[in-house]
Amino acid sequence: MPQEIERKFLVTGEYKSQAYAQSRIVQGYICSARGRTVRIRIRDDRGYLTIKGASDAAGISRYEWEKEIPLDEARELMKLCEPGVIDKTRYLVHSGRHTFEVDEFYGENAGLTVAEVELASVDEPFEKPAFIGQEVTGDVRYYNSQLMRRPFSTWE
């Protein structure tokens, strides 16, 4: 089974000038149950269907399967999604041998910016860029499926 191993951080500094690419992402969830999610994503002009399993105890690793689907099918599937949508711009920033995906959120999640780095193993070392702040790996509030239900703007 394909495993996704990643760590997630809040962003506290400037990152846009370091980005080598960016894309707009809109996504919804057909299922956002804890331990299993089915996501529809439109990234620029491409559609994706993603299924994710439960995270390990530390929130670092979980099953992930993704397949590109035709854009018109992704748009149709978005109509079946649970209420709420995630709208963000993703910036890609190199740091050492890794790429950080920095997500700047809009709408009800405006004001939130997080960065993720995918790793080959749970204990793989990586270089943190200067804009990386507090680690939030495993904090379910920062999962996109949870931000859809309980947006950042509603936090106290």
DSSP string, 10-72: EE-S--GGGEEEEEEEEEEEEE--TTEEEEEEEETTEEEEEEEEEE-TTSSEEEEEEEEE-HH
Write down the pTM of the prediction.
0.93
96, 117 contact by CB (below 8 A): no
| 58-106 per-position pLDDT tens digit | 888 889 999 999 999 999 999 999 999 999 999 999 999 999 999 999 9
Cβ atoms of residues 87 and 78 within 8 Å: no
**Residue 72: phi, psi to the nearest 5?**
-65, -35
- At 1-36, the pLDDT tens digits run 578 899 999 999 999 999 999 999 999 999 998 889
Q: What is the C-alpha radius of gyration for the chain, rounded to an integer number of angstroms?
A: 15
d(CA 38, CA 36) in angstroms, rounded, equals 7
29 is catalytic: yes
Mean pLDDT of 117-145: 95
The tokens describing 94, both together, are 């190199």
Catalytic residue among 15, 20, 29, 106: 29
- The pLDDT, as a whole number, for residue 55 is 83
- Retrieve residue 32's tokens: 């956002």
Range with the lowest mean pLDDT among 45-59, 80-94, 125-139?
A: 45-59
Question: Which carries the bigger pLDDT value, residue 60 or residue 125?
Answer: 125
Contact present, 82 and 148 (Cβ < 8 Å) = yes
Q: Classify 3 as helix, strand or coil.
A: strand
CA distance 129 to 39: 29
Cα 8 to its chain centre, rounded Å, is 9
**Could you count the other beta carbons within 10 Å of the beta carbon of residue 57?**
8
